[in-house]
Chains A and B, each alone.
Chain A
Amino acid sequence: MKFLQHLALGIDVAFTAQNLLYCFLGVTLGNLMGVIPGVGAVAAVSILLPVTYYIPPSAGLIMLAGLYYGAIYGAVTGAILLNIPHTVSAVECLDGYPMARQGRAGVALFMTTIASLCGSVVGIIIIAIFAPPVAAVALTFESPDYFALVILGMTGAVALARGSPLRSFIMILVGMLIGLVGMDVTSAQPRFTFGVTQFMDGISIGVIAMGLFGVAELIANAGWVRTSQVRASDITWRSLLPTRSDIRAAWPAIARGTFIGALFGVLPGAGAVLASIMGYTVEKQLAADPSRFGKGAIEGVVAPEAAANAACQTSFVPTLTLGIPTDPITAVMLGALMIKGISPGPEFIGAHPDIFWGLLVSFVIGNVLLVIWHIPFIRLWVKLLTVPFDVLYPVVLVFICIGVYTIHSSVLDIFLVLLFGCVGYGMRLLRFEPAPLLIGLVLGPLLEAYLRRSMIVSHGDPLVFFERPISGSILVVSAIVLAWTFRKSFKRERAALEAQSSGAQ
């Protein structure tokens, strides 16, 4: 009965005209930004972050979440039609683009839409079932346990990030330091402010995200030329329809992808990117004939897509119940909620049931809207892909600059976004991933606060973390994960070195 009451509350909230409008705006703009090459979900969320300052928190959260899953839906279009490796849809290129070249782009687009819908629906059900009990358990947690959880979040982000774990570790710590900029809450001591008054409140996560993901991406991709294989007129109604054998091959792959995605979504640091890669890898390993992969196997397109969407949804479980972000996008969303004076954590669902259940119902509405955008209106998006990038990037740049200015009406923020854009481009050249930095930005102040509080509670005894069963076991798990990650990376390096030296002889 309680569930039905919650559902009714959610429907009440989500179906208000305002929330419907922001849900529609969120998924549509997210889809648009997802389709446009060179703008990802993170950039989409951060460009629209300033808008949330002017609207109520539930509408803001509904819009930002819509941007997130909308961008995942949209990114696959570019992957299939143009072979554009978007961050969330890099693996869909491997089989989606060959399908398009075989004249089966319509089938690929149709089946990925269905896969996205399946992944999302299962993800939404998992949030509804698991988020409240997780929050209830988390209510019994004390400062040392939270300290341990944040450490687990850090190690997860290091272990599951792309590329070298050492670099991800550095990026998280750098993010944490940048997160400390501003006035220290306990001692009122300004830290790392360089005498700038505006820095007393810290640097907005939106500015950093827009710089590292938006401007840096534009710098790296400006002057980039590509050619389209598919014209909008090629995508007819008939071409969308899968054959019987497509459906038979696709549905188990969708189910497996959904399961993998739902599992990976709740892990900190993993997010939709890793889930889609895992979805692809598993399909390839299970296939009777792995050589079909890379040549247009439908399983290789639908499984990662289902996984990405399921992960995108389930990543809201740790974000909303523990206040620990799983990827840069949820980190930006947490930042947006905190500015609104809402701190996500175990009390969140109990204190703001309207926002939580409204958000959940809006996920359903948003996914239905996306299916409508993708099946009857798919040609619109195909057409958009023919717009050259050198027209698109000045447009995106204008929105970034105005968006960043409207956060605080501060010209300094525009220069900061430029600074972080250049830093982000430099990081890209040196192969540092910006994603862990954004996670660190949110985790840093949390870690410090929990550390200080734990120390006061334990009278300065650091052993408190190991004496409490919850924090102790979480810390042990974190240590194992970290050790395993570095061992694995060390072994791989060693193998690569040996291969290099034997090749030289």
Chain B
Amino acid sequence: MTRDRDADATPSAGQDLVGGLLTIAFGGFALSKALSYPMGSALRMGPGFFPAILSCLIIVLGVALALHALQRRMARQAIEVRLRPVVTIAIAVAAFALMLERFGIVPATIALVLISSLAASRLRLWRSLILAVVMTGAVYVIFIVVLQMPLTVMNW
């Protein structure tokens, strides 16, 4: 519930600085790529022309954002990263992706539900197990029986 309240306050100087630097890095990377494509002329623009303009604009705006941060007093305010949900959801989705074609949608769905349940602050094992079974059934009915999508069901 804190998220939307945060979204309306002004970003901190630290958020501006990190955001600005990342923007510059992104723009710089894109520019280096764009310059490797033919530029063409103003009359007949090559594939590199437009991305190069965009990248330069992004770099300029990134510099503006970073400078804006340096103008302000740096409050020692940490950017709070909640690692647990990021890591568990990443592992869950990666597991699903790796299992889907090799083992089929049934084991992949079970893995996805069980692993992603760990992202919650409190683990309720029985609830997760029941949810995994119910979800697998629902997925089977919706995607295999009703929509008849060409998915591997189970392949041990």
Contacts and interface: CB of A to CB of B under 8 A. Distances in A.
B42 A187 contact: no
Interface stretch (A59-67, A283-291, A421-429): A421-429
Contacts of A252: none
B47 A222 contact: no
Contacts of A390: 117, 120, 122, 124, 127
Interface residues of A, number: 75
Contacts of A218: 85, 89
A223 B61 contact: no
Interface in B108-140: 109, 112-113, 116-117, 119-122, 124, 127-128, 131, 135, 139
Contacts of B96: 401, 414
A455 B109 CA distance: 52
A69 interface: no
A177 B58 contact: yes
B54 A176 contact: yes
Residue from A90, A164, A222 with most neighbouring chain B CB atoms (10 Å) = A222
A496 interface: yes
Contacts of B109: 398, 402
Given A173-B57, A180-B50, A418 B131 contact: no
Interface string B82-103: 1011101110111011101100
Interface in A161-180: 162-164, 166-167, 169-170, 173-174, 176-177, 180
A330 interface: no
B100 A224 contact: no
Which of the four size classes fits the interface of chain B? 35 or more
Interface stretch (A112-120, A128-136, A299-307, A405-413): A405-413
- Among the interface residues A224, A390, A393, which one has the most CB atoms of the partner chain B within 10 A? A390
A267 interface: no
A186 B47 contact: yes
Given A180-B51, A192-B30, A398-B135, A166 B1 contact: no
A340 to B, nearest CB: 18
B89 A222 contact: yes
Contact of B37 (A191, A219, A391): A191
A411 B101 contact: yes
Contacts of A460: 41-43
Contacts of B105: 402
Contacts of B58: 170, 173-174, 177
A191 B47 contact: yes
A56 B33 CA distance: 39
Contacts of B65: 166-167, 170
A85 interface: yes
Contacts of A397: 89, 92-93, 112-113, 116
Nearest to B51: A180
Given A164-B10, A191-B34, A418-B93, 5 more contacts: A166-B68, A167-B19, A170-B61, A191-B33, A395-B135
Interface of A: 51, 54, 83-85, 87, 90, 162-164, 166-167, 169-170, 173-174, 176-177, 180, 184, 186-187, 189, 191-192, 215, 218-226, 390-391, 393-395, 397-398, 401-402, 405-406, 409, 411, 414-415, 417-418, 421-422, 425, 428-433, 444, 447-448, 451-452, 455-456, 459-460, 462, 493, 496-497, 500
16 contacts: A83-B1, A85-B1, A164-B11, A219-B82, A222-B119, A222-B120, A223-B85, A223-B121, A395-B131, A395-B135, A398-B113, A401-B97, A402-B109, A411-B100, A428-B3, A431-B6
